Structure 1
Amino acid sequence: MKTIINSPKAPAPIGPYSQAVLSNGVLYVSGQIPIDQATGQLVSTSIEDETRQVMKNLNYILEAAGASFANVLKCSIFIKDMGQFAQINAVYGEYFPENPPARETVEVSRLPKDVSVEISCIAQL
């Protein structure tokens, strides 16, 4: 059995997928990109601002499921330029000051809407 989780604060899916799916106490959050739902615009002023918006979007979805970053078991980070890893990592680290989740970071050639970073996560409720 699965429950679809959606937050009106996070961007609506841009394809045939859900923001998140809850199954047997595990929350699978789809990859988030730096869209500000309030304006509908991409945040692209800096890689730090992009990453911060992605983390905000993940947080909105986690909150809709009754969770927080403390519940996150694993994250997957997709970036267009590994040269920006340090800046992305610094912002990401602000959200996991203790006991960070497992993670991988992968450089890819292209992301939806040509953004520079996308992050997904899995959380235990």
Structure 2
Amino acid sequence: MLESGELDSICAGWPGVSSALKWEVDLVYSVAGKMFAVYCTLGLERGRVSFKVDADRFLELTEQPGFMPAPYQGHAFWVTLTGPERLAPGDLEAFLRRSYELVVEKLPPKARRELGEAS
């Protein structure tokens, strides 16, 4: 099972990243106040992580075992990783980094410049 510490070790050092517990059960990773990853900490879905993907990869990924459209966010090209053990080493980091990049790309220019200065 994926542990939240794994996500911390991957995401915490990226410019502008913060994390907070939201909705009582989800550890949310954000950049400039915008979510890019959500980790479920309790219940039946504990250990699942959701993240944004490129629109052209959404259908491809959600048709693979271990992925599904993210509840409440599937319309925004978010997927939930239900089987992290199916990923090759480094794949989770690549997915999370791309999610971070997709969110950063949509930030206002000033916020993007500030992130560049923070790195």
- In which range does the TM-score fall when normalised by the shorter chain? 0.3 to 0.5
TM-score by length of 1: 0.34
* Structure holding more strand per residue: 1
The one of the two structures with greater contact order (alpha-carbon pairs below 8 A, sep at least 6) is 1
TM-score by length of 2: 0.35
